[in-house]
Amino acid sequence: MTIDRRTFNKLAGLGAVHALSGKVSSSGQQREPSAGSEFASLPASHGTARIPPRAVEWPAQTYRRLLVDMHVPDWDDRLLARFDAADYVSTIAGAGFQSLMQYANSHAGLCLWPTKVGQMHRNMKGRDYFGEVMEECRRHGLHRVAYYSLVFDDWAYQAHPDWRVVSPDYSEPQRHERAGAVCINSPYPEHALACIQELVGNYDFQSIFFDMTFWPTICYCPHCVARYWKEHGAEPPRVVDWKSPQWRTFQKTRERWMREFTLSITKAVKQTRPIEAYYQFGTFFAPWTVAVSLEQNEASDFAAGDFYGGAAQFSIVCKAYRSLTRKRPFEFQTSRTLNLNDFETTKPFEQLALESLIPTIHSSACMLIDAIKPDGTLNHRAYEYLSQINALHDAFEPYLGGEMLADVAIYFDKNSVYDPDANGMTAAEATKNMWGGKLPHRDAAVGAARFLREAHIPFGVVTNASLDQLSGYRAVILPSVLEMTAEQADIFREFVRNGGSLYASGVSSMSVAGEGEERFLLADVLGVRYIGKTGGRTAYLSGTDRELFETIWPQENLGFRGPMVKAQAQPGAAVLATVTLPFVDPEAGTALNSRFAQIWSDPPAPHAGSDPGIVINNFGKGKSVWVAAPLESRADAVDARVFELLLKRILQPPFKFEADTDPAVEVTLFHQEDRHRLLVGMLNLQTQVPAIPVAAAIRVLVPSGGKVRKVSLLPEQKAVEFSHSGSYVSFNVPEFKLVRMALVDYA
Ligand SMILES: [Zn+2]
C-alpha cells in the first residue's frame, strides 16, 4: 500500500468527500475552484484514501462490501499459486471495505478449502485458502461472507457427464462456453449439499451467498424428462405457446423446481448453523427463460444481485430490492471494470462513484466486484482507486436508514416478462437468446422509472410478490402488464375504490392467456372494454383535450411505433385522445404500387380516428387513466411530458417531495421516525462524465404535526436556511457535482 503525501493530504479531511459533494465556501457565493477536478484527471491521483476506522455491525451497518472473482482452474501450476491471504485481506481492509465475500468454490467447481467430499484446487498444495482468509478477516475486523457457485460447476460437468444440463437442440455448450452447468434434477444436489454442509459446519462466516441459481437453458436432460413424466404424466413441451396450458404448466414447473432446490439448500445451511443465506437475484429482472420466480426469494434473507445496465436500470432495481428483501439492507452489486468480461478497463471514477452511490441514496449496501489475477494476487493499484470511492461513501453512511417515502408505485409483474408475440417459437430458438428478446412489460417498467425519476415524482416499486405494500402509495403504474389474475385485479380495484390513482397502458389487466375470453379484468376501473389490437407498425394518439394538445406542441399527434389496443369507452368515462391510424397501411406500399403517403414515414390519416386512445375514469373514491399504448416505453421527451401530465391529472399534490433541479438528478426521501428526521438523497446521474455541477431547490412534506427545527447539508452537517410553505419545508442546495444529502430535523 503506497501513500503519496500530496494525495494523502488531498484525500484526508477536505479532499475527496467534500470536493465531490461540491463544497461551497463560507460566503455561500463562490465555489472552490475546479472542485472535484482532481478525479477527472485520474490516473494522476495515486494513493490510498485514509478512512477513519469505525466498527460496524453485520449486516445492518455494513455498506461497503467487496467480492473478488476467483473463477480460476488449476491446469497450470501457476494458477492461484501465489495467493497470500495476509496481503490480500490487508489490501482489501486498507481500502476501506467493511466485508469480504470470499470464494469457497467457483464456476470451475474446485473447492478452496480442504474438503473430504469435493474436489480441491490442486495448487493450494495442502493449504487452506478459504480458512486463511477467514482468519485474516477476523484480524482486520472485516465481516465474512462465503461465496458458493451452484449449477455452474465445471468439475462436476467433467466428472459426471450424466449430470449435465441438456439444451433443447442437444447442442454441446462445452464447445463454445467455459462454464459447464449441471442439472438440479440430476444427483448433483446431493454432492452440492454435502460440500455446503461441510463448509458451513467447519468455518464461522456470518452469511453465505449462492450464485447461479437459475436455469442456464431449457433443460431436457433425462432427469428432467423423467421427473416431468412422474409429476405430469406427459413429455415436456418443446414449443413456446403462452396460450397453451401445457406450455404454462411446464414453465411453472421449471420455476418450482428451482425454488424447491434453493429452499432445500437454505434449509440445510440453517440446520448446520443459523446464519443468513442469500442467492443471486439479479435474475428477478431476467426473461422467463431462466425460470426464476419472485417466490424463489423465500429462500433468501437478502435481495442481492449484480447489474450493468446503467442508471435507469439501477434505480428501478434498487426500488424493487427494497420491496423484495426480507432483511435490510439489500445488496446491490456492480463491477470495478466495465463489466465482468473485461479484466482491466476500469470505470471512470465519477461513473463508478455514481453507480456505487445509487444503493447509498436507497440506504442500502453496495458490493463492488473485482477479479483476482491468474497467479492469485491482487492489482494493488485498483485498491488505491477503490479506497477513494469508499472514502466518498464513508462520510454519508452514519446517516442512512429509515423508510422510503414515495407517492407512486411502479408495478413489476414477473409473470409478464415474456414476449407475447413469440408464440410458436421452439424452445431451441428461445435458448439461443436466453437473456434478450422483446420484453414489453420490463421495457415499459424501466421507462416509467426513468420518466418518474426525471420528473422528480417520488416513486417506489411493488411486485406480484409484494402487492401487500401497495397501500403505502397513493398511485400505481401498470406498465404494459401482460396478464393478471382475478385476485391481483381485486387488489388494484380496491386500491382505486378507496381513493388510489391508477395509470395503465396497453394490455394491462388482461386476463391470463388461455383462461377463457381475452378481456380487461379492470374494465370497470379503467372505463374501457377490451376489443383487440389496432394498427401495425405505427399508430397515433390525437388529443381531444386542450391541455394534452398543448403539451405535445409543436406536434399535432403523438406517434407510437407498434400496435395499440382497440377498446370501447364505457359511459361516463372521459376520452382525452383517440387512436388515429396511418393514412394507409404501412405494409401496403412498394416501389411498384406507390401505395404510401410519404416514402420514408407513415403520416396519420387526415381525420382523427374514433377509437379511444386515452381515457380517464372515476371509480369509487379514486381515478384511473388508460393509454392504448405503453408510451412510457419510449425515451422521447414528448412522451415524458404526456406521461407526467396524465399522472398529475389523476394524482393531486401534496407529493412527499418536490424538486426543482436538473432531470439527471435522482432524489430520494427516507423517514427516520425514531430520530424525528427526514433524509434527502440527491445524486447527479449525468451520463457524460465529468459531471456538470447542478443546484437544487427542494420542498419536503413535513410529517403531520411536525415542526422543522433544522435543515443541514451532509456530509459536513452545514445548517442551511429554510422556510415553510403550507405543509412543505423548502430549502436550496448549492451546486454539487455528484452527490448531496440533507437532513431535515423536526420536533
Ligand atoms: Zn435437467
Q: How far is CA 437 from the centre of its chain?
A: 18
Instruction: Return the DSSP state at 136.
Output: H
Ligand 1 centroid–CA 187 distance in Å is 10
**Beta bridge pairs of residue 461:** 410
Q: Quick: pLDDT tens for 169-191.
A: 988 766 668 889 999 999 999 99
Ligand 1 centroid–CA 448 distance in Å is 37
Ligand 1 centroid–CA 215 distance in Å is 9
Ligand 1 centroid–CA 329 distance in Å is 34
Ligand 1 centroid–CA 102 distance in Å is 29
Q: Quick: pLDDT tens for 340-399.
A: 999 999 999 999 999 999 999 999 999 999 999 999 999 999 999 999 999 999 999 999
47 Rama sector, left if φ>0, alpha if ψ -120 to 50, beta otherwise: left
In this predicted structure, the answer to whether residue 16 has a pLDDT above a threshold of 50 is no
HEC assignment per residue over 278-318: EECCHHHHCCHHHCCCHHHHHHCCCCEEECCCCHHHHHHHH
Q: Which of 2.10.109.10, 3.30.360.10, 3.30.450.20, 3.20.20.80 is the CATH number of 64-219+252-398?
A: 3.20.20.80
> 64-219+252-398 and 657-746: same fold?
no
What contacts 33, CB < 8 A, 6 or more positions away? none
Ligand 1 centroid–CA 220 distance in Å is 5
- Structural domain 408-650, CATH architecture: 3-Layer(aba) Sandwich (3.40)
Ligand 1 centroid–CA 380 distance in Å is 42
pLDDT of res. 198: 98
Ligand 1 centroid–CA 225 distance in Å is 7
Residue extents of the structural domains in the chain: 64-219+252-398, 408-650, 657-746
Ligand 1 centroid–CA 282 distance in Å is 22
Ligand 1 centroid–CA 590 distance in Å is 49
Ligand 1 centroid–CA 254 distance in Å is 10
User: Residue with C-alpha cell 466495465?
Assistant: 338
Q: Contact 236/427 with Cβ under 8 angstroms?
A: no
Question: Distances in Å between the alpha carbon of 31 and those of 18, 34, 391, 685, 694?
Answer: 12, 8, 22, 21, 12
User: Residue with C-alpha cell 436550496?
Assistant: 732
In this predicted structure, the answer to whether residue 10 has a pLDDT above a threshold of 70 is no
Ligand 1 centroid–CA 260 distance in Å is 14
Q: In whole angstroms, what is the distance from residue 15 CA to residue 7 CA? A: 9
Q: Quick: pLDDT tens for 655-698.
A: 999 999 999 999 999 999 999 999 999 999 998 888 899 999 99
Ligand 1 centroid–CA 484 distance in Å is 30
In this predicted structure, the answer to whether residue 52 has a pLDDT above a threshold of 60 is yes
Ligand 1 centroid–CA 164 distance in Å is 7
Ligand 1 centroid–CA 656 distance in Å is 49
Ligand 1 centroid–CA 224 distance in Å is 4
Phi, psi dihedrals of residue 430, rounded to the nearest 5° = -60, -35
Ligand 1 centroid–CA 228 distance in Å is 10
Q: In whole angstroms, what is the distance from residue 209 CA to residue 571 CA? A: 55
Ligand 1 centroid–CA 226 distance in Å is 9
| Nearest CA among 497, 474, 495 for reference residue 620 | 497
Ligand 1 centroid–CA 167 distance in Å is 9
Q: In whole angstroms, what is the distance from residue 744 CA to residue 494 CA? A: 34
Ligand 1 centroid–CA 305 distance in Å is 24
Neighbours of 735 (CB within 10 A): 15
pLDDT of res. 309: 86
Ligand 1 centroid–CA 430 distance in Å is 16
pLDDT of res. 419: 94
What contacts 322, CB < 8 A, 6 or more positions away? 330, 362, 364, 404, 460, 461
Compute the average pLDDT of residues 195-207: 98
pLDDT of res. 171: 81
Q: In whole angstroms, what is the distance from residue 1 CA to residue 223 CA? A: 52
| Nearest CA among 232, 211, 256 for reference residue 106 | 211
Q: Quick: pLDDT tens for 293-337.
A: 999 999 999 999 999 888 878 999 999 999 999 999 999 999 999
12 pLDDT band (50/70/90 cuts)? Answer: very low
Ligand 1 centroid–CA 121 distance in Å is 27
Ligand 1 centroid–CA 115 distance in Å is 27
Q: Quick: pLDDT tens for 627-667.
A: 999 999 998 999 999 999 999 999 999 999 999 999 999 99
DSSP per residue, 59-116: TTT--EEEEEE-----SSTTTTTT--HHHHHHHHHHTT-SEEEEESS-TT--BSS--S
Ligand 1 centroid–CA 91 distance in Å is 42
- Top CATH class, 657-746: mainly beta
Ligand 1 centroid–CA 180 distance in Å is 13
| Nearest CA among 129, 151, 28, 138 for reference residue 85 | 129
Ligand 1 centroid–CA 11 distance in Å is 53
Q: What percent of the chain has pLDDT over 90?
A: 88
**The C-alpha cell that represents 388 in the structure block:** 477513494
- Choose the weakest-confidence range: 36-50, 298-312, 437-451, 489-503: 36-50
Q: In whole angstroms, what is the distance from residue 642 CA to residue 80 CA? A: 56
What does the mean pLDDT of the chain come to?
Answer: 92
Ligand 1 centroid–CA 193 distance in Å is 18
Phi, psi dihedrals of residue 168, rounded to the nearest 5° = -60, -30
